[in-house]
Homo-oligomer: A and B are copies of this chain.
């Protein structure tokens, strides 16, 4: 059995972005010398994900908007007496009490999932013709790591 581990660091300037990584994953499989096996691609952060889908810019833009509908970013109400009279802000997060502002990114991690396992057959990622692999950043602007682990023979 062979195994091979590669770490990648992303520093995405935007808060949210999809970064295509299919070639990097194939490179890890090549370097592993594995013909038959599986490769695990896993974000090492709790506000990022990995998605396998279509590398079509319209779809990716649609998807960021849609994820914001299911997992809305927090908002702060105007800091005035009327806002205070409304009581606790339902748009805000307990998680933000300590100064964080990325609660929605944790939920985008949940929806997208932080990892995928891909099949390797005859030394190639065994993907369909439209399947591209994306690192999904939901709280960018700082370096974040991902691990690729190849297992097989």
Chain A residues in contact with chain B, CB under 8 A? 1, 3, 5, 36-38, 40, 42-46, 51-54, 56-59, 61-63, 66, 70-71, 93-98, 103, 106-107, 109-119, 121, 126-128, 130-131, 145, 147, 149, 151-153
The A contact surface, by secondary structure, is mixed
Q: How far is the CA of A147 from the CA of B127 in the complex (A)?
A: 9
Which of B42, B51, B128, B149 contacts A110 (CB under 8 A)?
B51
User: A152 near B52 (CB under 8 angstroms)?
Assistant: no
Q: How far is the CA of A91 from the CA of B112 in the complex (A)?
A: 22
Residues of B within 8 A of A36 (CB): 3, 5, 151
User: A117 near B40 (CB under 8 angstroms)?
Assistant: yes
User: A121 near B93 (CB under 8 angstroms)?
Assistant: no
Q: How far is the CA of A39 from the CA of B126 in the complex (A)?
A: 14
Q: How far is the CA of A70 from the CA of B116 in the complex (A)?
A: 22
Residue of A36, A42, A109 ringed by the most chain B CB atoms within 10 A: A42
User: A44 near B128 (CB under 8 angstroms)?
Assistant: yes
Write the chain B residue with the least CB distance to A132. B46
Which of B52, B58, B111, B127 contacts A93 (CB under 8 A)?
B58
Q: How far is the CA of A51 from the CA of B111 in the complex (A)?
A: 11
Known: A40-B119, A115-B117, A151-B152. A128 touches B94 (CB 8 A): no
